[in-house]
């Protein structure tokens, strides 16, 4: 019926009416569908707001033009909305997953995640996908009726994406798909690929702005070179900045167009009649063509070698490790250094699970920090002279 959240969806989409529901039952809202409610809860949660001060590649205070986890999440959601609309899958679910996918990320990007994982090695490790799920399931404190945000199964499935089999065994119903080797729904598959499209192409933009990579170096990458040369012929008198911006837009357009066409071809062959049929596939249905997958991987490899391992980024990574490791150990050794509510959580967790529980509570606190708050806490507690 008109206005119903399932209206206009393909049979293989995630239907609100067929959702596996929430862990804690709630009455339906009179005019918002369940996946829309999930998206709204994510946008209003504390962890989402913190993303504005969490780095993507560069430390937050290095410049106002660089991506943060918040702007990245918005860009991922924009790509996913476009693809979801064209495939007639659930736009609101895809958007909710995209907006939540980085909620568990530590300060200082992947450098902070790697450091916290090392600190937690003896206590179960740290995976940012699992932490994002932990944020929405337990750590957000906004409702009297239940912990977390009480999101729908399908949203939580997309946030998790993947995890180790060891951790999947502890996730109940949500972990069964991973243990069985099944796929998530198309909306979750889309969020995963939109994430890669966004960060690959936008890290090119940030890397150029920062002067860590050059156009000449990027022209060794087929995808960039093709679109950069085309932009030069089409807009011969454009400024360098405009030509680069046009190149990045064209790269994204080429990749997304290929994703749509390849996925449509896959769906014609598989003919899934429900989201359960999508889940039962041996391989994802939402994919790139082999050609674009190869070009996409070439770009990713270039960024890994030339940008993420650049000496300036490496220096930031080393200092991030110092800050995250130092904070974890000082809080773990003395929970009295934590704010009252987190100290109570750490002490309660220790009573229930010993050192493992205390370590997890400390990791929750450190992971939730923004870049600048982590640095200020390190300066306050350990070394006032440290600066990025």
DSSP state of 219: T
Q: How many independent structural domains does the chain possess?
A: 1
What is the per-residue pLDDT for 168? 86
Q: Give the span between the Cα atoms of 121 and 224, in whole angstroms.
A: 39
Does a structural domain hold residue 336? yes
Cα(17)–Cα(20) distance, rounded to whole angstroms?
9
> Which tens digits make up the pLDDT trace of 249-261?
999 999 999 999 9
CA dihedral 312, 314, 317, 322 (to 10 degrees): -100
Q: What does the pLDDT read at residue 313?
A: 85
Give pLDDT tens digits along the chain (388 positions): 456 888 899 999 999 999 999 999 999 999 999 999 999 999 999 999 999 998 866 554 444 446 789 999 999 999 999 999 999 999 999 999 999 999 999 999 888 999 999 999 999 999 999 999 999 999 999 999 999 999 999 999 999 987 778 888 888 888 888 888 899 999 999 999 999 999 999 999 989 988 999 999 999 999 999 999 999 998 888 899 999 999 999 999 999 999 999 999 999 999 999 999 999 999 999 999 999 999 999 999 999 999 988 988 888 889 999 999 999 999 999 999 999 999 999 999 999 999 999 999 999 999 999 999 999 999 999 999 887 6
Q: What is the pLDDT of residue 120?
A: 97
pLDDT of residue 56: 66
**How far apart are alpha carbons 221 and 248 in whole angstroms?**
13
3-state SS record for 310-345: CHHHHHHHHHHHHHHHHHHHHHHHCHHHCCHHHHHH
Angstrom distance (rounded) from CA 358 to CA 371: 23
Q: How far is CA 79 from the centre of its chain?
A: 13
pTM, entire model? 0.94
pLDDT of residue 66: 66
In this structure, the chain runs to a length of 388
Residue 388 forms part of a structural domain:
no
Whether 5 maps to a domain, the answer reads no
Compute and round to an integer the Cα radius of gyration of the chain. Answer: 22
CATH label of the domain that carries residue 46: 1.10.3210.10
Residue 270: enclosing H or E segment and its boundaries? helix 240-270
Residue 3 lies in a domain: no
Average pLDDT, the chain: 93
117 CB contacts (<8 Å, ≥6 apart)? Answer: 125, 126, 127
Q: Tell me, yes or no, whether 200 lies in a domain.
A: yes
Q: With respect to residue 228, please indicate whether it lies within any of the assigned structural domains.
A: yes
Indicate whether 8 belongs to any domain.
Answer: no
Distance, CA of 167 to CA of 378 (rounded, Å): 31
Q: In this structure, what are the phi and psi dihedrals at residue 182, rounded to the nearest 5 degrees?
A: -85, 165
Let me know if residue 6 belongs to a domain. no
Beta strands in 221-377 (DSSP E): none
Distance CA 204, CA 217 (A): 11
Cα angle 316, 206, 128 (rounded to 5 degrees) comes to 60
Burial class (CB in 10 A: 0-12, 13-18, 19+), 340: exposed
Domain residue limits at 97: 16-381
* Burial class of 141 by CB neighbour count within 10 A (0 to 12, 13 to 18, 19+): exposed
Helices 153-160 and 173-180: crossing angle in degrees, nearest 10, is: 50
**Which pLDDT tens digit goes with each residue over 273-306?**
999 999 999 999 999 999 999 999 999 999 999 9
């Amino acid at each position: 019926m008109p206005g119903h959240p399932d209206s206009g969806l393909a049979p293989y989409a995630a239907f609100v009416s067929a959702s596996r529901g929430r862990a804690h039952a709630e009455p339906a809202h009179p005019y918002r569908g369940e996946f829309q409610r999930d998206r709204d809860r994510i946008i209003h949660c504390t962890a989402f707001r913190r993303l504005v001060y969490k780095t993507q590649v560069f430390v937050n205070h290095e410049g106002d033009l660089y991506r943060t986890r918040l702007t990245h999440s918005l860009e991922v959601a924009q790509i996913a909305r476009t693809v979801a609309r064209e495939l007639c899958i659930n736009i609101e679910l895809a958007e909710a997953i995209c907006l939540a996918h980085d909620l568990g990320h530590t300060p200082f990007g992947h450098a902070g995640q790697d450091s916290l994982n090392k600190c937690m090695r003896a206590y179960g490790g740290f995976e940012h996908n699992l932490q994002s799920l932990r944020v929405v399931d337990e750590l957000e404190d906004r409702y009297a009726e239940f912990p977390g945000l009480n999101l729908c199964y399908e949203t939580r499935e997309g946030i998790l994406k993947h995890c180790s089999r060891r951790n999947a065994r502890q996730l109940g119903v949500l972990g069964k798909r991973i243990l069985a080797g099944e796929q998530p729904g198309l909306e979750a598959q889309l969020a995963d690929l939109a994430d890669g499209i966004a960060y690959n192409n936008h890290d090119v933009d940030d890397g150029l702005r920062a002067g860590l990579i050059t156009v000449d170096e990027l022209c060794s990458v087929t995808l960039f070179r093709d679109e950069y040369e085309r932009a030069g012929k089409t807009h011969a008198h454009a400024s360098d900045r405009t030509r680069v911006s046009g190149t990045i837009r064209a790269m994204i357009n080429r990749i997304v167009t290929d994703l749509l066409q390849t996925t449509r071809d896959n769906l014609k062959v598989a003919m899934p009649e429900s989201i359960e049929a999508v889940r039962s596939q041996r391989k994802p249905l939402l994919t790139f063509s082999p050609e674009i997958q190869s070009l996409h991987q070439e770009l990713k490899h270039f960024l890994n070698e030339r940008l993420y391992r650049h000496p300036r980024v490496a220096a930031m990574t080393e200092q991030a490790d110092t800050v995250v490791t130092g904070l974890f150990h000082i809080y773990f050794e003395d929970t009295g250094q934590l704010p009252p509510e987190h100290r109570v959580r750490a002490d309660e967790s220790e009573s229930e699970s010993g050192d493992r529980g205390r370590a997890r509570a400390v990791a929750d606190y450190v992971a939730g920090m923004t870049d600048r708050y982590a640095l200020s806490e390190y300066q306050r507690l350990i070394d006032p002279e440290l600066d990025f």
